[in-house]
């Protein structure tokens, strides 16, 4: 009886994960199209220097590329969870490292106060320590995913 009751929420969760993968894929397609549009309009602008992009445009392009990378890694993690019913901790930590690195790369130092920079540094150090600890555990246990059961 309990197995039948627990079967329905798990089934619903799997459909929600499939829907999230579809939404991520569509977001990545539209993001890549928007990135291409920004890049082409920047290069084809009527300026005398055709192939020179402004620093703000470059930051916008780099930020969008890194967001697409985070979306791709997140889609891979969700598909691993969906197909194997295991949580890939190392891959999720890699996604967090990429996301925080994205924030740090595209950070405007002149508009950011000291507390935000210290907070981002603390987050980066804590994620790095967690990744190191899980990676050391992986060397000992020789397993990249952990069961959610």
**Residue 116, token pair as written in the block:** 């935000």
pLDDT at 70: 86
What pLDDT is recorded for position 71?
Answer: 87
First and final CA of the chain: distance in angstroms? 18
CA 99 vs CA 6, 10, 68, 96: distances in Å = 34, 29, 10, 5
pLDDT tens, N- to C-terminus, the chain (149 residues): 577 777 788 888 888 888 988 999 999 999 999 988 887 887 777 766 656 667 777 777 888 888 888 888 888 888 888 888 777 888 888 888 888 888 888 887 888 889 998 999 999 999 999 988 888 876 655 555 555 54
Distant-in-sequence, close-in-space partners of 48: CB < 8 Å, separation ≥ 6: none
Domain boundaries, the chain: 2-147
């Amino acid at each position: 009886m309990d197995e039948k009751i627990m079967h329905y929420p798990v089934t619903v969760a799997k459909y929600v994960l499939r829907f999230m993968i579809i939404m991520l894929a569509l977001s990545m397609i539209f993001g890549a199209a928007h990135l291409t549009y920004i890049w082409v309009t920047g290069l084809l602008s009527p300026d005398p220097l055709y192939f020179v992009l402004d620093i703000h445009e470059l930051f916008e392009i780099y930020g969008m590329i890194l967001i697409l990378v985070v979306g791709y890694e997140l889609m891979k993690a969700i598909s691993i969870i969906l197909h194997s019913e295991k949580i890939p901790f190392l891959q999720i930590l890699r996604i967090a490292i990429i996301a925080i690195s994205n924030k740090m790369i595209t950070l405007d130092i002149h508009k950011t106060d000291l507390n935000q920079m210290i907070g981002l540094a603390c987050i980066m150090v804590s994620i790095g320590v967690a990744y190191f600890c899980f990676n050391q555990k992986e060397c000992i246990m020789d397993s990249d995913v952990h069961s959610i059961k």
